[in-house]
Amino acid sequence: MLISLITVLSFIPLALAQVGVVNPLVQHCGPSNVVCVNRYAAVMPYHFFRPDSFNGTSIPFSATSVPNDTSFSLLNNSNFIVYDRERGLAILGANPTYEKVFNVSEAVHEAPVYVPGLNKLFLSQLAPPAGFLPQLVVDLNKEPPELSEFLSDPPVYAPNGGTFHKGLIYWGASGGNNSIGGTEQRAGIRTLDPHTNKTTTLLNNYFGWYFNTVDDLFVDSRGDVWFTDPDYSWFNALTDTAPQLRSQSYRFRPSTGQVWVIDDTLGQPNGIAISPEGRNIYISDTSSVDGVISSAYPHLHASHWNQTSAHTIYKYDLLDDAVSGEVALINKRPFYYSQEWVPDGLKVAQNGYVVTGAGKGVDVLDCSGSLVLRIQTDYVVQNFAWAGGNLTEFWLMGQGGISRVKWELKGQDLSKSYT
């Protein structure tokens, strides 16, 4: 009996041994710079292998070796990778464009804020060079747009997140030092009036302790500023003081000065965003990039990559109890585990779709965490902002580039929703 079974099996051709393979994995669809991945490439032909990312190097899905499917190489040369054909192509529209508008340094580029009244996009550049103090501004009144340095009064060191609220830019200032540009600055919340260039400090401590790295932020409808405070400024040598506070997230009320902790469950909370109707809040945990804080190594400024740690966006419901006055985040659940690197910049589009910069590209997710499409870049993207009259120009930036996408996905109108 056993012998005859082996005999039967030996007649099955080897090629049939793998069933269910998605074929082709990738194909052209829609406009010429767009490809579609079929069935999320759920079954790939053996032998395939994707190397792990390591330290500063993000390994994209497209770098997976799949010798038995020639269609896979189409991923490399397209600007847009669609996973959900119907909704993805609708977001892109008939003529989506991707254009790398500026080559910039390998430094982190962050905190993009579009100021409608000036039609300018403000963004930050962190060190290196050490102590770099100005911001960058893209003038969208010019075509092609022009990039210049901008120094506010007084200067603000290392904004790592930004938003626009009631005519002011709100910055999460991430650096701290006793002599930066000749004065002391500590991590906190600062505002810039983009018409006068004047800045103000709204917050610089928690009962005397320095914040670690005020990172990303948004302002809610009553003017409260929600922000994350991970440990990165210590790892990146943007502060001279090792973290004094747990790595966690807060809500700050400028009208009273009060600060509440809102979540202390994430290793390195990073991006933070609110849905257009204010019901949900998203926070990313980028613990895959982490470092050492130890009295044994008092001046160790370094981060390392951990492939199996969290690179995950969490979704929360916002409890806002009119009777007790309690505001809290409840029902935390994992929302999206990024397909590459860590979900850094995080914002919600006008239609509720969640957008995140993750490695060499930007992922677009629906409100249930389904991956709809990806913009692909040749540099690691930190953050992005919508700009232009119709908020359909999408500017993305990171280590080496600033790019512009034109598509149909609109940003939230920050100049209107909260005034």
Ligand X SMILES: *[C@@H]1O[C@H](CO)[C@@H](O)[C@H](O)[C@H]1NC(C)=O
**Of 21-29, 106-114, 218-226, 303-311: span binding ligand X (CB under 6 A):** 303-311
Q: Pick the binder of ligand X from 33, 38, 68, 201 (CB under 6 A).
A: 68
Minimum separation from the CB atom of position 104 to ligand X (A): 10
For residue 289, give every residue at least 6 positions away whose Cβ sits within 8 Å of its Cβ, in sequence order, or none: 232, 268, 303, 304, 305, 306, 342
54 binds ligand X (CB under 6 A): yes
Q: Which 317-336 positions form the footprint of ligand X (CB under 6 A)?
A: none
Q: Using CB under 6 A, count the residues that bind ligand X.
A: 33
Please say which residue, 47 or 333, places its beta carbon nearer to ligand X: 47
- Cα distance between residue 37 and residue 43, in whole Å: 12
Binding mask 363-382 for ligand X (x = CB under 6 A): --------------------
Output the CA–CA distances (angstroms, integers) from residue 301 to 124, 256, 331, 402, in the order listed.
Answer: 21, 35, 35, 27
76 binds ligand X (CB under 6 A): yes
Binding mask 252-271 for ligand X (x = CB under 6 A): --------------------
Minimum separation from the CB atom of position 220 to ligand X (A): 28
The letter for the amino acid at 25 is L
Minimum separation from the CB atom of position 192 to ligand X (A): 10
Q: Pick the binder of ligand X from 43, 118, 150, 415 (CB under 6 A).
A: 150
Residue 27, exposed/middle/buried by CB under 10 A (0-12, 13-18, 19+)? Answer: exposed
Q: Pick the binder of ligand X from 179, 200, 221, 244 (CB under 6 A).
A: 179
For residue 14, give every residue at least 6 positions away whose Cβ sits within 8 Å of its Cβ, in sequence order, or none: none
178 binds ligand X (CB under 6 A): yes
15 binds ligand X (CB under 6 A): yes
183 binds ligand X (CB under 6 A): no
Binding mask 97-116 for ligand X (x = CB under 6 A): ---xxxx-------------
403: DSSP letter? E
Q: Pick the binder of ligand X from 196, 255, 256, 295 (CB under 6 A).
A: 196
Q: Given the structure tokens 């997230």, which residue do they identify? A: 249
Q: Given the structure tokens 């609109």, which residue do they identify? A: 410
What DSSP letter does each residue of 305-360 carry, written as one string? E-TTS--EEEEEEEEE-TTT--EEEEEEEEEEE-SSS-EEEEEEBTTS-EEEEESS
361 binds ligand X (CB under 6 A): no
Q: Pick the binder of ligand X from 31, 116, 131, 134 (CB under 6 A).
A: 131
Please say which residue, 2 or 17, places its beta carbon nearer to ligand X: 17
Question: Are the C-beta atoms of 364 and 348 separated by less than 8 Å?
Answer: no
Other CB atoms within a 10 A radius of the CB of residue 222 amount to: 11
For the chain, the distance separating the N- and C-terminal CA atoms, rounded to the nearest angstrom, is 80
Please say which residue, 6 or 130, places its beta carbon nearer to ligand X: 130
Give the pair of three-digit tokens for residue 74. 């189409």
Minimum separation from the CB atom of position 260 to ligand X (A): 27
Residue 325, exposed/middle/buried by CB under 10 A (0-12, 13-18, 19+)? Answer: exposed
Binding mask 387-416 for ligand X (x = CB under 6 A): -xxx--------------------------
Minimum separation from the CB atom of position 175 to ligand X (A): 8
90: DSSP letter? H
Give SS3 for 276: coil
Give the pair of three-digit tokens for residue 119. 């039609």
Question: Are the C-beta atoms of 151 and 140 separated by less than 8 Å?
Answer: no
182 binds ligand X (CB under 6 A): no
Which residues sit at the interface with ligand X, rule CB under 6 A?
15, 47, 54-55, 60, 62-63, 67-68, 73, 76, 100-103, 130-131, 150, 177-180, 196-197, 240, 302, 304, 306, 308-309, 388-390
